[in-house]
Amino acid sequence: MSPAYLLRRLLAVVLVLWIVTIAVFAITMILPGNAAVMILGEYATPDQVAAMEERLGLNRPAAVQYLEWLFNLLQGDLGMSLRLSLPVSEVVGSAFANSALLAVTALLSVTVVAVPLGMIAALKRGTKADLGISLMAYVGTAMPEFVTATLLLVIFAAPGNPLLPAGGFIPPGESVAGFFNHVILPAGALGLILTAHIARQVRSEMSDVLASDYIRAARLKGLRERRVLRGHALPNSLAPAVAVISLDIGYLLGGIIVVEEIFAWPGLGRLLILALENRDLPVIQAITLLLAMVYALSNLLSDLVIAAIDPRVRYE
Amino acid sequence: MMAAQDNNASEGPVLDIRNYTLDYGTPHGPPVQVLRNVSLSIRPGRTMGLVGESGSGKTSLAWAIMRYLPGNAIERSGEIALLGEDLRTKSLEEVQDLRGRRISMVFQDPGTSLNPVLRLGDQVAEVLARHRGLTPKEAREESEAWLARTGISRPADMMHRYPHEASGGEKQRVVIATAFACNPEIIVFDEPTTALDIITARQILDLFDDLHDETGVTALYISHDLGLVSRVAQDVAMIDSGEIVEWGTCEEVFVRPRHDYTRQLLSAVPHPDRRIVASAPEAESDLLSLSGINVRYGDKKSILGFLEPKREVVQGARDVSFGVRPGEILGIVGESGSGKSTIAKALAGLQDFKGTVEFDSRTFSSRRQIDRDYRRSVQIVFQHPDASLNPRQTIGKILSRPLKLYDQVPRSELSQRVRKLLRSVLLPEEYAVRYPHELSGGEKQRVAIARAFAAEPQVVICDEITSSLDVSVQAAVARLLVELQQQTGTACLFITHDLNLVRQLAHRIAVMLDGDLVDLFETPQASASGRHPYTKQLLDAVPVPVKAEEPARTA
């Protein structure tokens, strides 16, 4: 991979994020009830609103407001949260860290479970193991995380005899065991549908690989089955698996908002819902931008990983 | 080597197949018989060609020999013996031990039979490590030596390359090196040159000859190409619908065929001496002429071009000029990527071009100027009828499209004209209500030809229209095209890579190389002196089939 390629891809990320800033800003402009009304409350007089708009600069042309916002953004100044009266970067920063903990835990466990499951299903094609895994994958893909979350709560956190806490968060720095205790249910709710999806995709990729001419050629060279699978099939099915996982990151970012709310996980999702309820525009803008950035960068990362795995993929 | 061969000669056949019958089970209904009572034996050091058309069972026989049958295979009877040991009695473990060591295989398409993510050197070395217990270092050294023996010019460099970094010919050399690496007793070659270009195929054949002489290996050479088999093999077996209908030495089978099927195939094989066209009508001027046609691929840039890598610009056609005379068949030959299809697409108005096309005293200097009238007069038939016939339309509908589009006949006579078109390509009229998937490959291609002729064009472009067909079907389609062309007086641009076929039916032949038109001559002048060196090279590369003494049918 050439440095020129990396530069081009980073440029593309910047371009995407710039388009997102316009979209985010436009949407917050269109939303009914501006920040002045939100701060003053519904009983404010028109004079008070006008004065507040003057003070916040909301009466200036949209383009000027956008440029000012963008300029501040580039300097790392995301503004003040209207609701919490704290700098947005502070509010969003800690929530982002908490969300990242949940997302990474979910994604890692999904990968560790789903990829081998898909491979086993492909290897044992047509057997009971394949049938079981495929059936589970079908059911799993049909269950959105709010259903899974409710089910998990009923089963593992029933009020009488809770095996696991129904919600909340303990930072791993405070207690690792406590963190894992609290992360299992939300990560499970997030991960089940992804596990199902990734397992299905990996199964079909692996099936294609196993049916390929080069696997037949490897067998006809007299190689033992273990060597055929490890040396020939596995390296070919890794890159597609990475591609599927990276596509699912987009889904994960959406799912996390629902799951955090259900399990009272103090992350970005929960903060976003709070901000939406309170029309906390600077926070909404910051979170939306952050999610877009995570998605764009994770896509870039997965392309780089694929290039490292598959010699045919050479980015120039 | 000769000594080894002589020693073996007394020992009996290397591979001996007796009364072998194989069925494939089907989920619903009775099993399908694939091989019926097949008996075949190959003596040491000989190469036996196994010739048959698609579906004849030749590849199934290869899988049976390699003990690589699908799960639904049912072996009814018979034995497959390697030096007297019946392979059918071997366990999977014993078979794994045999494969690649005593019996190995060279596959049709080196592009798919090499693992894309492993280095070429490792793919050769792993056989040596597996079967001869060499250390990784020894295996690599020995692999490099084998790559050198297969004529790879920089073997050390090739060891480190991945398949996509090697050419088709180089890849096939790697596959061949792998097959020979453990000095097996027999090697099965499954159409090893079919996926390669003409000249590369010739080089691989030469390599096969050299290695065969050096090692004295016994070989089974599967192919559909009689000309090729007569060049590489000493013995040949003809297989038809799962039965070996005839086998013997090449001279016996090809020169004095005993079985009808052999005769039929032999007469279907295109042979340059067996012309199937009348001479071209005298023409005072060109019907269609191209001058300075240029086509470049990869030029276009989008607004977000700065985000895309620099694409390599490929010159599909470079200053190509020639004329097509009324009523003639002009053959265009060349290897893949030579620009022959580019010219077809540009002439059919499917590809942007620079330069001018003159037709019917009108001049077109870009694709946009090509209008409906031109499109009606210049029709195209594509290589794959499966891709060019809409699977959701009946044959009748497919054939009536051009009739309606160009107002060829009044609506009331549509179905009558469709039936006439079907008759003209020797298909039953009832086919009008069928769908493409209900037809065989040859029948589909006839429909595609009928569609092109429906518009009563003055020029028909045939882009590799027989390449995906079996030999006998190919012969019938070629003959049909020539008949139609002569009846209607339509000029025809016949694009192909089959030199024997083109010499059989074209009046003139144009040769393309890397986007350039390098040669253009009257067909009888093909072997005249003064031909372009590339033309000579192409002609030399193609084995001309042996001619039977008494072909059952004459063309």
Q: Which residue, A251, A263, A254, A264, is CA-closest to A287?
A: A254
Which chain B residues have a beta carbon less than 8 Å from that of A316? Answer: 309-310
Shortest CB distance from A222 goes to which of B97, B107, B112? B97
Residue B554 has pLDDT above 60, yes or no: no
Q: How far is CA B372 from the centre of its chain?
A: 34
Report the mean per-residue pLDDT for chain B.
90
Where residue A310 falls among pLDDT bands split at 50, 70, 90?
Answer: confident
Residue B296 has pLDDT above 60, yes or no: yes
Q: Which of chain B's residues have a Cβ under 8 Å away from the Cβ of A214?
A: 112-116
> Mean per-residue pLDDT for B25-33?
90
Q: Is there a contact between B465 and B383 (Cβ–Cβ < 8 Å)?
A: yes
Q: Do B162 and A311 touch (CB under 8 A)?
A: yes
CA distance A296 to chain B (A): 15
Strand ranges for B421-498 from DSSP E: 459-463, 491-496
CB contact under 8 Å between A223 and B100, yes or no, is yes
pLDDT at B191: 92
Whether A3 and chain B come into contact, CB under 8 Å, resolves to: no
C-alpha dihedral over B479, B482, B487, B493, to 10 degrees? 160
CB B20 within 8 A of CB B77: yes
Among chain A residues, CA nearest to B128? A221
Per-residue b or e along B145-184, where b marks 16 or more CB atoms closer than 10 Å to that residue's CB: ebbebbbbeebeebbebbbebbebbbbbbbbbbbbbbbeb
* Model pLDDT for residues A267-296, shown as the tens digit of each residue: 999 999 998 888 788 888 899 999 999 999
Distance in Å, alpha carbon of A79 to nearest chain B alpha carbon: 32
Average pLDDT for A207-218: 95
Could you report the per-residue pLDDT of B65-78, keeping only the tens digit for each? Answer: 999 999 899 999 99
In B272-383, at which residue ranges do the beta strands (DSSP E only) sit?
Answer: 288-297, 314-324, 329-333, 354-359, 362-364, 378-381
Q: What are the chain A neighbours of B68 within 8 Å (beta carbons)?
A: 216, 219-220
pLDDT for B426 equals 93
Query: Does B386 touch chain A if contact means CB atoms closer than 8 Å?
Result: no
**Least confident interval from A206-210, B95-99, B305-309, B353-357:** B305-309
Residue A241 pLDDT > 50: yes
Do the Cβ atoms of B250 and B545 come closer than 8 Å?
no
> What pLDDT, on a 0 to 100 scale, did the predictor assign at position A162?
82
The DSSP call for residue A80 is B
What ipTM does this complex have?
Answer: 0.84
What per-residue confidence (pLDDT) applies to A281? 83
Q: What confidence tens digit (pLDDT) does each residue in B88-110 have?
A: 999 999 999 999 999 999 999 99
pLDDT digits (tens, 9 = 90+) for B339-369: 999 999 999 999 999 999 999 889 999 999 9
Which positions 201-230 of A are in contact with B (Cβ < 8 Å)?
212-214, 216-224, 227
> Any residues with CB less than 8 A from the CB of A313 and at least 6 apart, and which?
A239, A306, A307
- Please judge whether A232 and B118 are an interchain contact, meaning their C-beta atoms are less than 8 angstroms apart: yes
> What's the rounded Cα separation, in Å, for the pair B509 and B502?
8
Kindly state whether B303 is in contact with chain A, defined as any CB-CB distance less than 8 angstroms. Answer: no
Q: Which two tokens stand for residue B76?
A: 């009814």
pLDDT at B551 over 50: no
Partner-chain contact B113 A5, CB within 8 Å: no
Question: What's the half-sphere exposure (Cβ side, CA atoms, 13 Å) at B137?
Answer: 0
Among A159-168, A210-219, B260-269, the range of highest mean pLDDT: A210-219
- State the pLDDT at residue A316: 67
Residues for chain A: how many in total? Answer: 316
Q: Given a cut of 80, is residue B252 above it in pLDDT?
A: yes
Tokens of B177: 């090196």
**Residue B117: which of A8, A222, A235 has the nearest Cβ?**
A235
Between these two residues, B8 and B89, which has the higher pLDDT value? B89
Sheet of strand B378-381: strand arrangement? B378-381, B459-463, B491-496, B329-333, B508-513, B516-522
Q: Work out whether the CA dihedral A166, A168, A172, A177 comes out positive or negative.
A: negative
At residue B452, the 3 state secondary structure works out as helix
User: Crossing angle, helix A281-309 and helix A88-123, to 10 degrees?
Assistant: 40
Q: What is the pLDDT of residues A167-186, one digit of tens each?
A: 889 998 899 999 999 999 99
Burial classification of residue B74, based on how many CB atoms lie within 10 Å of its CB (0-12 exposed, 13-18 middle, 19 or more buried):
middle
